[in-house]
Amino acid sequence: MILYSTNNMAARVSFKEAVFNSLPTDKGLYMPLEIPRMDPLFLRNLPQYDLPAIAFEVSRSLLGDAIPAQVLRRIIDEAMDFQAPVKPLEAGLGVLELFHGPSLAFKDFGARFMSRVMGYFSADENQAEKERLLDVLVATSGDTGGAVAQGFLGVKGTRVTILYPKGKVSKIQELQLTSNGGNIRALEIEGTFDDCQALVKQAFNDPELSRKLRLTSANSINISRLIPQTFYYFHAYAQVLMQGIREVVFSVPSGNFGNIGAGVLAYRMGLPVRKFIAATNANDVVPRFLSTGVFQPQPAKATVSNAMDVGSPSNWVRIVDLFGGDISALQQVLISRSYTDKQTLSAMEVLYREHEYLACPHTAIAWQAVMDYRQTEPGEYASVFLATAHPCKFPDIMPGNLRDQITYPPQVSDLFSKSASSVPMPVDFEAFKAYLLQV
Ligand SMILES: *Cc1c(COP(=O)(O)O)cnc(C)c1O
């Protein structure tokens, strides 16, 4: 597999380099030079494959010989050891549940695959490199950190530093970030997610840090997190095919646009998708861009769907790149809508009242967006909205009648018995740098 930078087609790297560098020095993002088309026969026969089998076929097409087939199969079997069911709510409408992994959010797919890919490539390093600790930096708006922590916990030769915005993550999310111990450290940043992300980006551009530490990133900008997120789009389509429907609309709760970016990559690989709906909260840089043509990043606004509080959606450039920069072609396939907190809470209520389905706020936005789409676009298609987190992670923002309905899976019950620790830090690059260099 060969990748290039979205800022410079001539900057070519291997998959391994893209995994460890995360970001090209020109501040673009890595993209595959060749996007393979999946065999039409494979697509037609999808219902015969389970999730790991789909993951293997799709990743092997993308990665080529970057990872030996046997190793890839083992990585997938370890990483994708939980279900991603499409639960039908009514005729033609289903919810793709992506929260059955250890951190109860879809980010488990990316984080678990990435940690094992990094582990494989690390073991491959020569001795001198191997002695140096792999320092994984991750900025999180809530769910990334927990998934990455779980993905790397106990992985030899790695140390994870998580930056999260103070007071902007839920109680359960905070516990998932701060209660791991071992090779996982948490920094509570007195700022927003964008501040956290800016600190991480600055660390990668700092020559002294690059010289002294073996830094790598675990954010959704890493290509090894994007690739595994394509798997469940194929898997969901398989479940739609089983109902005899051939066209699908995906509604994706979007913040940094990594999840939907993977969906668009799957589409470019041949998955027959009628439309993608990027459903956002008040952080509406993309819906604004699509209606005005002006891409204007904003400071992040705090909302009840906090994992989507992103004012500068990094992965958007990847989506534009997947359409070769042709925005009108992009708009044929992808639309975007933004919803207020009030609409989000009301969607949660209605979804529960009509279907007895308790959704997290992010998921509720995707449901509302797909319902609005169905109103205006009747047709013979299946609508699938993505459930990106388990509702039990967001009790604080739930209306009381809904909160009473929350059930807790075992992953959560365990958390409350653990002790938590984090280091408070201002939005100050020198302080962050000193912290990284101190041990
Ligand atoms: C991260 C996250 C999102 C946003 O996903 P992006 O890939 O950043 O667009 C949505 N919902 C939940 C629950 C998340 O954790």
- The confidence band for 221, taking pLDDT boundaries of 50, 70 and 90, is confident
Predicted local confidence at residue 131, as pLDDT: 65
Of 150, 164, 176, 254, best ligand 1 pocket probe by most atoms within 8 Å of the beta carbon: 254
Q: Which atom of ligand 1 is nearest to the CA of 143?
A: 15
Is 60 exceeded by the pLDDT of residue 127? no
Gap from CA of 274 to ligand 1 centroid (Å): 22
**C-alpha 284 to ligand 1 mean position (Å):** 14
Q: Alpha-carbon distance 241 to 45, whole Å?
A: 9
The region of weakest confidence among 148-157, 249-258, 299-308 is 148-157
Mean pLDDT on 336-360: 98
CA distance 304 to 277: 20
For residues 170-186, average pLDDT: 91
* Shortest-distance atom of ligand 1 to CA 255: 9
- pTM of the prediction? 0.91
In this structure, the residue with its CA closest to atom 2 of ligand 1 is: 307
Q: List all residues whose CB is within 6 A of at least one atom of ligand 1.
A: 105, 107, 142-143, 220, 253-259, 307-308, 360, 362, 388-389
Model pLDDT, residue 229: 98
pLDDT of residue 124: 62
State how far the Cα of 298 lies from the Cα of 355, in Å rounded to an integer.
36
Instruction: Tell me the per-residue pLDDT of 417-439, one tens digit each, with 9 for 90 and over.
Output: 888 999 999 999 999 999 999 96
| Per-residue confidence band for 151, with pLDDT thresholds at 50, 70 and 90 | confident
- Please, are residues 308 and 362 in contact by the beta-carbon 8 Å criterion? yes
CA–CA gap between residue 49 and residue 66 (Å, rounded) = 23
Higher pLDDT, 388 or 218: 388
Task: Compute the distance between CA of residue 135 and CA of residue 214 in angstroms, rounded to an integer.
Answer: 6
Distance 254 CA to ligand 1 centre (A): 6
Integer CA distances (angstroms), 378 to 92, 247, 277, in order:
11, 13, 15
pLDDT average, residue stretch 169-176:
87
Instruction: Please give the average per-residue pLDDT across 217-241, as a whole number.
Output: 92
Residue 366 has pLDDT above 90, yes or no: yes
Span 305-310, average pLDDT: 92
Mean pLDDT of the chain: 93
Per-residue pLDDT, 433: 97
> Does residue 129 carry a pLDDT above 70?
no
What does the alpha-carbon distance between residue 313 and residue 311 come to, in Å, rounded to a whole number? 6
Over the stretch 242-291, which tens digit does the pLDDT of each residue have?
999 999 999 999 999 999 999 999 999 999 999 999 999 999 999 999 99
Task: Summarize the confidence of residues 13-22 as an average pLDDT.
Answer: 91
pLDDT of residue 121: 87
Cα of 363 vs centre of ligand 1, distance in Å, is 10
**pLDDT tens by residue, 45-93:** 999 999 999 999 999 999 999 999 999 999 999 999 999 999 999 999 9
What is the whole-number distance in angstroms between the Cα of residue 173 and the centre of ligand 1? 13
Ligand 1 atom closest to Cα of residue 310: 8
Measure 166 CA to ligand 1 centroid, in angstroms.
18
Give the pLDDT of residue 111. Answer: 92
pLDDT at site 21: 82
